[in-house]
Amino acid sequence: MGLLKSAAVRVALVLIVIAVIFVLAKILRIPQKTRQKLADLDNEFKPAIFVSLLWYILAVGVSYILHRYLSTYIGGKGVYTWNKILTVFVISAILLIPMAAHVFTRRLDLKVVGLSPPCRWRGFLLGIIIVTIFVYLDWLPLKGLLKQPSYALMATIYFFIIAASEELMFRGYLQRISIEKSGVIPGILTAAIIFSLGHVLRDVFVKHQDIHTLTLGFLNYMALALCLAFAAHRTGNIVAPIVMHIAMDLA
C-alpha cells in the first residue's frame, strides 16, 4: 500500500510538471521542433540502445571505483573540490565518446542529441521559471544554498557536468531516436526506463541499497526522467532539462 501511494503521488507530480511545462512553453512561444521528423533514424534505434546501455555499464563501473578507491582524492559525498570537478568532467567526456562516434560516423543531424539552435534561451528561461516555482513551493529545498554562495557555485558546476552528460545521452540522443522509431510516448518511456534502471543499478553496486529503497528510488528516477523528457520533447532541445536536472541534483 505504501508503494502504491508513493507511485500515485509521483504520477500526480509528473502530470503537474508536464502541465506547467506545456503552459509555459505556450506563453514563451516555443515552437515544438520535435514535430519535424528527422530522416533515416529507424536503423539507428538498436545502436542507440546499445550505446546507452554501454554508457551505463561503464558509468556504474567508474562510480564504484571512485567511491571505493578514490574518495579520499576527490572528496566524499557533499564535498565539491576542483579535483572532483575535473575528474567528473574527464570521465563524462570519455563516456560520451561512443555516442559521439555513432552520431558523427553516421552523419546524423545534431538535433538528434538535443542541440538544435532555435529557442535555447527560451528553453533556459522555461527551466529557470519551473525551478523558481518549485523552490517557492518548497518542492525543491534550495533556499539554504543562497547562504553558501561558494559551495553553491562549486556544486552547480559539478552537477552541470553530470546533468549535461546525462541529458545529451538520454533526453537528446536516446529519446529522440526512440521517438522517431516508436512514437512519442513509447520513445519517452524507453529512454526513461533505461535511465531509471541505470541509476538503480548504480545504487545496487555503489550504495548497496535494499529492495524497498531501490523500488522507491526507481519511482523517483522515473518521475524525474518523465519530467525532463517532456521538457526536452516540448522545447526541442535539452537546455530546459539541464537546468531542471541541476536543480533536482542540488536538492
Per-residue pLDDT of the chain (251 residues; tens, 9 = 90+): 566 667 777 788 888 888 999 898 888 888 765 555 555 677 888 999 999 999 989 998 888 888 877 777 777 777 888 888 999 999 999 999 999 999 999 888 877 888 766 567 888 899 999 998 888 877 777 777 767 888 888 999 999 999 999 999 999 899 999 998 888 999 999 999 999 998 998 888 877 777 777 888 898 999 999 999 999 998 888 999 999 999 988 87
Q: How many domains does the chain have?
A: 1
Is residue 78 in a domain? yes
Q: Is residue 129 part of a domain?
A: yes
Q: How far apart are CA 204 and CA 196, in angstroms?
A: 12
pLDDT of residue 11: 83
Is-contact 236 34, C-beta < 8 A?
yes
* pLDDT recorded at residue 118: 59
- Grid cell for residue 50: 546499445
- Give dist(CA 82, CA 75) in Å, integer: 10
Give the integer Cα–Cα distance in Å for 20 and 2: 27
Q: Which amino acid belongs to residue 96?
A: L
Cell numbers describing residue 109? 543531424
Report pLDDT for 3. Answer: 61
Task: Confirm whether 102 is domain-assigned.
Answer: yes
Amino acid at 86: L
One-letter identity of residue 32: Q
pTM given for the model:
0.91
Cell of 192: 526513461
Residues 55-66 as b/e (b if ≥16 CB within 10 A, e otherwise) read bbeebbebbeeb
> What is the reported pLDDT for 55?
93
CB 237 within 8 A of CB 124: no
DSSP 37: P
pLDDT at position 109: 80
Is residue 8 in a domain?
A: no
User: Where in the sequence is the domain holding 210, given as residue range(s)?
Assistant: 43-250
Q: What is the CA radius of gyration of the chain?
A: 18
The answer to whether position 4 is within a domain reads no
Distance linking the first and last C-alpha atoms of the chain: 27
Q: Of 194, 200, 201, 193, nearest to 61 (Cα)?
A: 201
Half-sphere exposure of 40 (CA within 13 A, CB side): 5
pLDDT of residue 236: 84
112 in any annotated domain: yes
Q: Is residue 155 part of a domain?
A: yes
